[in-house]
Amino acid sequence: MAKCKKHLLIGSTGFLGSEIAKDLCSRNQVVFGTYHRHHKKGFSLSGSVRMFQLDVRNRQGMERLVARIKPDYIYYLAAQSSVRLSWANPVETININLVGGINLLEIAKKLALRSKIIIFSSGTIYGETHNHKQKVFESDRLEPKDPYSISKAALDSFARIYAKNFKLNICVVRPCNIVGRNQSKTFSIANFAYQIKNISLGKQKPIIDVGNLSASRDYIDVRDAIQAISEVSGKGKPGEAYNIGRGKPVKIGHALKEIIELSKIEKIKVRKNEAFTSKDEILRMALASGKMKQLSGWEPRIPLRQTLNDMLR
C-alpha cells in the first residue's frame, strides 16, 4: 500500500474498527474515524486518528464528511453487531446496518467517488446453508436466520448492485467469527476470557456462565482478519464479495475447554445461562476462503490456541 493514503473508517470505535485503525497508523497511513455516541477515551492513538462524531442515519452529515476528507479508502464498519440484540430491536438494526450503508452507497453514486469502498457483511448471511454444506462458498445461497444477518445480506446485495450499476469501486467482505484481544465481552470467546481474568483476580467465583456450547464456529485471529481486509482493499475486484475464514469449524465448547486449560486455573465450573443463548442459532459455520487465497495468497496463519492464549494476557 502506497504511503500517505487517506482512510475513512465509518464506525471506527468497535473491535475491528479500532484494530484496523491501529494497523493503518502503524503503516503511516492517514486515518479518519467516526464514532456515534461512545468515543472511547485514549482511542485516538496519540492524535493519529482524527475522530468525527457521525450518526450514519444522517446522510447529509456523512456526505459533508466524505466530501471534506476525500478518502482514498472508505470502510463501512458501523453496525449493531449482536445477533441477540437484533432480535430485541430489528428496526434499529436495519437502520444502522442497512440504511446507514445505503446512505454511503448513495453518496458514492452522487459524488461519483473513485475511493475504494469496503462493505462489511458477515459469514452469518448464509444462515441455514451452513447446516447443509461442509463449507460455504461466495456463490452459495443466502438464507439468513436472524434480523442481524438479514440486514447484512441486504447490505451485501446493495453494495454489489451499486458497484455494477454505477461503476463504483466497492468490495464486500464476509468475515467469520473474528477473535482477539480488546474484543467486547458480548462475544462468547471474549466473554470467556473476561470471566477467567476476573476469576484469576478473585473478582468472580470459579464459575463461568456460558450459552450454547454445542454449536461450531469458524474462528480466526483478528490479526489474520486485518491482513485479509488489507488484501481486499488493495486487490479486491469491484462488485465482488470475499469470505474471510479458516473453513475449519470448532465447537464453542472445545474453545472454552482450551481457554480454561490455558488459564491454568483449576476447578473452574461451567454453568449454562439461557440469557447467553440466541434464537435459532447457526449450528455449524465454516467459510470456504479459496477466493481470498486466489486473490492474494491470503490464508489464516495464527492457530486458535495462540489467539486464546493472547486473550488471557
- Element holding 6 (H helix, E strand): strand 6-10
List the one residue from 27, 114, 132, 279 that touches a copy of itself (CB under 8 A): 279
Residue 245: all three cell numbers together: 475464514
Q: How far is the CB of 88 from a copy of itself (least distance, A)?
A: 10
User: What angle do helix axes 188-200 and 304-312 make, rounded to 10 degrees?
Assistant: 40
Whichever of 164 and 257 has its CB closer to a copy of itself, that residue is 164
Task: Give the three-state DSSP class for 76.
Answer: strand
Contact between residue 272 and residue 214 where contact means Cβ atoms under 8 Å apart? no
Q: How far is the CB of 140 from a copy of itself (least distance, A)?
A: 8
* Contact residue for a copy of itself among 30, 49, 62, 153 (CB under 8 A): 153
Question: Contact between 90 and a copy of itself (CB under 8 A)?
Answer: yes
Which of 1, 67, 111, 161 touches a copy of itself (CB under 8 A)? 161
Among 144, 180, 236, 245, binds a copy of itself (CB under 8 A): 144
The binding track of 101-130 with respect to a copy of itself, each residue x by CB under 8 A or -, is -xx--x------------------------
Q: How many residues bind a copy of itself (CB under 8 A)?
A: 29
Whole-angstrom distance, CA of residue 8 vs CA of residue 174: 19
- Taking CB under 8 A as the rule, does residue 146 contact a copy of itself? yes
Say which DSSP state 239 is in: T
Task: Lay out the site mask for a copy of itself across 205-244 (x = CB under 8 A, - = otherwise).
Answer: ----------------------------------------
The set of residues, in sequence order, having a beta carbon less than 8 Å from that of 148 and lying 6+ positions away, is 80, 81, 82, 83, 85, 86, 93, 97, 122, 124
Can residue 147 be called a binding residue for a copy of itself (CB under 8 A)?
Answer: yes
Measured in degrees and rounded to the nearest 5, phi and psi for residue 150 equal -65, -40
Report the residue from 32, 76, 148, 158 that binds a copy of itself according to the rule CB under 8 A.
158
The dihedral sign for the CA sequence 273, 246, 8, 64 = negative
Please spell the DSSP secondary structure of 244-275, one letter per residue: E--S--EEHHHHHHHHHHHHT----EEEE-GG
Site of interaction with a copy of itself (CB under 8 A): 59, 87, 90-91, 94-95, 98-99, 102-103, 106, 141-147, 150-151, 153-154, 157-158, 161, 164-165, 279-280
